[in-house]
Structure 1
């Protein structure tokens, strides 16, 4: 519920406890859908995630309670937010208010990597399939 611009409900992030310090490679990726993996760390009020999209992957239009803020680290994608479409490249950022529809098309040949934050935390990710921790494509080595 929203009241005066604030979200009035608590979102449970599930049983996962995030250590104070973590390496991206040590975080078990959540499979958001085939070809989209997120490596999140959860705070009390926010989720920060490294999100990797494979080449040609499309995340259909969706919306969620969480405000979303992000930046492209690698690759490019076409982003449609609230009916406006733009191509996003490394260094480009965005803000998506709560409950605004958005979709993503990873247009580059190598996919893309994003840093995204969500407030409140992404409690809904607790039920996604997880893969064993492994080295991702970012950071470059």
Structure 2
């Protein structure tokens, strides 16, 4: 347990720590009804995503690894050819280049996407929000 919570610094911080209020992050919309609010760390990105009802994130691929965590609501998520309804507490693990997409029906969905490395298509927006 002490190894997990070690206080011995064996390296140099890559950036100062900071706090972010997600509601203060300007949303970016690539598809109507789908809002992204990316938060950037030096090597990882967390993207807070809100789906309106009847909204589709089209099937796509990218080189960044992604973990999707549903916080509230639900959506139909397609991962590598398999579609299932995801609800609060459900997680999808998406390795590089694996096809995936999602859509809401008569509900909204709030979820978080974690990207490593940070998702290139959101990088400029995230840097601007971080003040870089």
TM-score by length of 2: 0.77
> What does residue 6 of structure 1 align with?
none
Encode CA deviations 1:11-48: one digit per residue, 9 max, x unaligned. Answer: xxxxxxxx711101111111132111111111111100
Alpha-carbon distance between aligned partners in 1 of 2:56 and 2:110, rounded to the nearest angstrom = 14
Pairwise CA RMSD: 2.0
Long gaps (5+) in structure 2: 1-16, 126-132
Encode CA deviations 1:68-118: one digit per residue, 9 max, x unaligned. Answer: 1021111111111101111101111110001101111112x3310001100
- 1:55-74 paired onto structure 2 within 5 Å: 55-74=53-72
The answer to whether the aligner puts 1:78 opposite 2:72 as a matched pair is no
Long gaps (5+) in structure 1: 1-18, 129-141
> What does residue 106 of structure 1 align with?
104
Which of the pair has more CA radius of gyration?
2
How big is the shift at 1:126? 4.2
SS state at 1:76 partner: strand
Alpha-carbon distance between aligned partners in 1 of 2:64 and 2:123, rounded to the nearest angstrom = 15
- 1:1-141 paired onto structure 2 within 5 Å: 20-107=18-105, 109-126=106-123
How big is the shift at 1:127? 5.8
